Amino acid sequence: MFTGCVEFDLLLPDDSRSLKAKRSYVRPIVAALRRFDVAVAEVGHQELHGRSTIGIAAVAGDNLHVQEILDACEKHVAARPEVELLGARRRLFGPEDE
């Protein structure tokens, strides 16, 4: 079994200066990422109105498949015109990891 996770650091538009406006950007992204059959949630920058960190976790039988899933998620987030992807931090774990 292989597990992978990635955190996306996002810059939200200037009009996301309230939590309600911020949610209007984050919720559709989280919902769209769920179609990749991953666990996804906003995991950071909850107190900042113009920023968000979205975390994703995937599990598969081989390392290549996990990487393909995470690549597809990253491409999807990077292609969203309403947010700017500032960075992505990725970790992969396999059977030899403790």
Residue ranges per structural domain of the chain? 2-93
Amino acid symbol at 80? R
For 31-49, the pLDDT digits (tens) are 999 999 999 999 988 777 8
Q: Is residue 86 within 8 Å of residue 10, measured between CB atoms?
A: yes
Higher per-residue confidence, 10 vs 50:
10
DSSP 46: T
For 45-89, the pLDDT digits (tens) are 877 788 999 999 999 999 999 999 999 999 999 999 999 999 999
What's the CATH superfamily of 2-93? TT1725-like (3.30.70.1120)
Q: Is residue 72 within 8 Å of residue 29, measured between CB atoms?
A: no
Q: What is the pLDDT of residue 29?
A: 95
The C-alpha atoms of residue 64 and residue 74 are separated, in whole angstroms, by: 15
Q: How far is CA 57 from CA 8, 23, 80, 88, in A?
A: 12, 21, 20, 13
pTM (2 d.p.): 0.88
